[in-house]
Amino acid sequence: MPKISSQQHVLSGIFNIDKPAGMTSHDVVHLVRRASGQRRVGHAGTLDPMATGVLVVCLGWATRLVEYLVDGRKHYRATLRLGITTDTYDAEGMILAETGGINVTEAEVSAVLRQFLGTVQQVPPMFSAIKHEGTPLYKLARRGEWVPRTAREVRIERLDLGEWSPPYFSLEVVCSKGTYVRSLAHDIGQKLGCGAHLAALSRLASEPFRLEQAVALETLIEALARGRAQELLYPLEQALDPFEVWVADAESVQDILHGRAVAGPPPGRSSLVLALLRTGEPLAVLQYDTVRGMWQPAKVFNSTHGESS
């Protein structure tokens, strides 16, 4: 499978960036947009400013795939600090309560962690981008306004206790999209009765993207400046796993471009397919219609420039 190609010096594809601490995800997008000279740049899965690690950034036609890319499982390494509760649930917030003489044991923490495994209801933090009546919660929180938040269902597949050095300890977390590790840290502290907050966080993976393959932001910006960023774009079969990938024939191309369903083999490992032109350019994302037994275009891309139609 060829790498995602540049069309008329316009990059379209996906970067796996190791986000440095102290920057928002939007800051990273802004730098990539400015360095690439391209308007259509977006990220798939926000990281808080204090967090480091995998941030998936899309350019060109790939920005239409963000909704699919955020679905992958997330893997984090988190450090929690016992005994201190903050308004943001992390180390950047204002201290709300502090407990002295913490007498929590490693065994007690392990027992509490087991209570958070599986499908759980999680209340998002006030300091988040979730909107309440059109206004992001963090803006309300900064004005001193607190509103009830609806619990959301998330899935935590792994929650392994790592280094134990009270009042600090580390966790390995594997979870679904939409999980707030800050809320998890806060809730663990409440269960332990001493309070806790998130002291540090690194995203090790946003599947299928992993930290060991990520590029430093500084390296990427330099590559963009030198016109060598194409080398850092992900090949389709790796970036869009678990999508199936098809090469569409001439008749199917016309049907897909006009939004018509096309015939094809039944779904294998995924109900989503990335249809390509014979040149290797992306044509569309197709979704299987189980009622009709056909593949319906869900996202269609312009076949000339790789931009969405």
Q: Which SS3 state, helix, strand or coil, does residue 104 take?
A: coil
Residue partners of 227: CB distance under 8 A and separation at least 6 = none
Q: Are 141 and 127 within 8 A, CB to CB?
A: yes
| Residue 90 annotated to the active site | no
Three-state helix/strand/coil letters over 212-251: HHCEEHHHHHHHHHCCCHHHHCCEHHHHCCCCEEEECCHH
Element (H, E) at 25: helix 25-36
Q: Catalytic: which of 48, 90, 241, 249?
A: 48
Place of tokens 């209340």: 123
| Cα 18–chain centre separation | 13
Strands 168-175 and 196-206: unpaired
Strands 244-247 and 215-216: unpaired
What's the CA gap between 222 and 92, in Å, rounded? 30
Q: Are 89 and 186 within 8 A, CB to CB?
A: yes
Task: Supply the DSSP symbol for 102.
Answer: -
HSE-up (13 A, CA, CB side) for residue 180: 23
**Positions marked active-site:** 48
